[in-house]
Chains A and B, each alone.
Chain A
């Protein structure tokens, strides 16, 4: 689960990390009042789960109440790379002497947390590494998450950070490690981490990803879960507990198991089609689940044909067939449905489907054959 910037900063503040004073707001009036409280000059920042907000015009400095209102008006409701801005964060403007970079992330290869530091903050970390690979210093952290202050200072020195703030930077990095452990974060990125004109070290941004599997022990963070999914199908799927990812094609896909479902998208693309979604029906896949899934897929107006690719392991194909037949009674599926059933009880499933004789249903024996048929039907 990705936190918004201000949620990340509030989390930092709770752990005693220095962040600029600020307030969040969802309406223009609220934003203007927040700006008054924070004082001028202040910065109005769009709160969306995507980067490069500044370039998109989502971050503006306001030196007066009127300017704050104007900026809030312009930014709230703005579209940034496909994300609508529903909230802004108003914070005190900082006097920046230097921009650094700090992060703590899960290194899944080494099975450890990795702390990283650079004196070249503010820009994209990939650009930074490209420009000068040595500018990014790295250090793995033990699973207890403790980063010795001396180690932190040494990293700061290697990164070429000014001597007078190395202690502050080391302390910041150690605290970021603590936050990662305490809050079950898999990524914490502070870019930029700034040194102010007064030589204070402050987190000017916060990009935090919390492990969704650990939310049961963080009820405060669980409440922040993004319920305002942008897309109507994704919202519908979320409400029904279905694993669904919207894509921009016109062929609806339902598979069982994430791997098989991804493979299905791939063979459809290879056959010249464009998948409209990823939907993993999971293990159970009883009639009700299939009705739910088909409703979500079919509610996407772009969908012109649907492919059902099932390999029954524990899941029985006759159960799936019953689900499809049941679904076709309950909902109107206005587009062709290509069904490929293989594995446990596939013959029985295919027999049931043949008997039901559904007008828009096409059976296919193989995954590749099914992909070709669905692409043809979507194009026709």
Chain B
């Protein structure tokens, strides 16, 4: 089955006519993803390497049956592009753009929730289901088809872990980059829920980093709800204390947001946490072997 993107994905890319949008959009198509349309206001009627461009997502959806949208437009217009996709009835929106103002995302987050839209990102590398579809900037060559689900706040760190899994002869059902921004459409918990329900996923690797308390909340969720084995990794043990949230941030979450606090929270719920990307891949390989 895999999750979020697969062979039924029909992709429309907002910002397909831009440099980054066309580079990655066409790479996704080369991988085998059904790229059905691009959207750039004012450029309707043009095409990008044979992919028709529309003025609006609604037109692209009506004309080409797009069911998944990828957002590649500049930060200051990106929340509006996500809102547009939600309004056009697109079911899955994957936002790659980085630097979207957090107050814009606060509003957009709730629009997506209320409409029942699955929003991934922003500021994320996208979603890859090996052998089926790739939506985003994840380099697919480091991942094989297999049964390990990966959910991660970080891009390059995920490629590193995927590559080590591949070398160990293991592949992935889906790799989901949720992004590291303060407000993201899907948290660890949202993706864990999808992996738990996915019959192709045997084991889940969760890659977190300092800041917020999404990992701590995920630890509780895993203990209560997830029956599949989960292996974790947290980056940022040596990072200087975050200044952004100050003390008041720690008060609401009841956690300091440090890497150690997150590792402790996961281990307290029985999740094994690797000390390096390499060890994390090894733990995952061991867990898969033990389960078989």
Contact = CB atoms under 8 A, between A and B. Distances in A.
Contact of A311 (B156, B253, B259): B156
Interface in B118-169: 137-139, 141-142, 152-160, 163
B101 to A, nearest CB: 4
A124 B247 CA distance: 9
B41 interface: no
Contact of B246 (A136, A209, A344): A209
Interface string A41-82: 000000001000000000000000000000000000000000
Contacts of A258: 154, 180, 209
Nearest to B246: A187
Interface stretch (A86-94, A264-272, A286-294, A295-303): A264-272
A267 B276 CA distance: 7
A111 B183 contact: yes
A112 B246 contact: no
Nearest to B111: A143
A268 B237 CA distance: 11
Interface centre among A105, A213, A217, A247 (most CB of B within 10 A): A213
Given A184-B102, A262-B235, A367-B277, A126 B141 contact: no
Given A259-B235, A266-B276, A342 B102 contact: no
Interface centre among B103, B180, B214, B276 (most CB of A within 10 A): B103
A227 interface: no
A236 interface: no
B248 A367 contact: no
Contact of A213 (B75, B250, B251, B276): B75
A153 interface: no
A269 B237 contact: yes
Interface in A236-266: 245, 247, 255-260, 262-263, 265-266
A356 interface: no
Nearest to A273: B238
Interface residues of B, number: 60
Nearest to A269: B238
B100 A266 contact: no
Contact of B210 (A113, A124, A189, A262): A262
Contacts of B251: 116, 125-126, 129, 136
A246 to B, nearest CB: 9
A263 B157 contact: yes
B182 interface: yes
B290 interface: no
B102 A367 contact: no
Interface in B153-200: 153-160, 163, 180, 182-183
Contact of A257 (B155, B182, B236, B248): B155
A343 interface: yes
Given A257-B154, A259-B153, A262-B235, A109 B106 contact: no
Nearest to A112: B106
B107 interface: yes
B252 A213 contact: no
Interface centre among B110, B156, B252, B278 (most CB of A within 10 A): B156
A138 B213 CA distance: 18
A59 B86 CA distance: 52
B252 A114 contact: yes
A326 interface: no
A183 to B, nearest CB: 9
B238 A268 contact: yes
Contacts of A260: 154, 156-157, 160, 235
A313 B277 contact: no
A103 interface: yes
B75 to A, nearest CB: 6
A331 interface: no
Contacts of A368: 276, 278
Interface centre among A113, A262, A367 (most CB of B within 10 A): A262
Interface in B1-25: none
Contacts of A207: 246
Interface in A181-199: 181, 184, 186-187, 189
A184 B101 contact: yes
B245 A187 contact: yes
A339 to B, nearest CB: 16
Interface in B225-273: 233, 235-240, 243-253, 259
B54 interface: no
11 contacts: A136-B251, A187-B246, A187-B248, A213-B101, A214-B102, A257-B157, A258-B209, A262-B210, A313-B159, A343-B159, A368-B276
Interface of A: 2, 49, 103, 105-109, 111-114, 116, 124-126, 129, 136, 138, 143, 181, 184, 186-187, 189, 207, 209, 211, 213-214, 216-217, 245, 247, 255-260, 262-263, 265-270, 275, 278, 311, 313-314, 342-344, 366-368
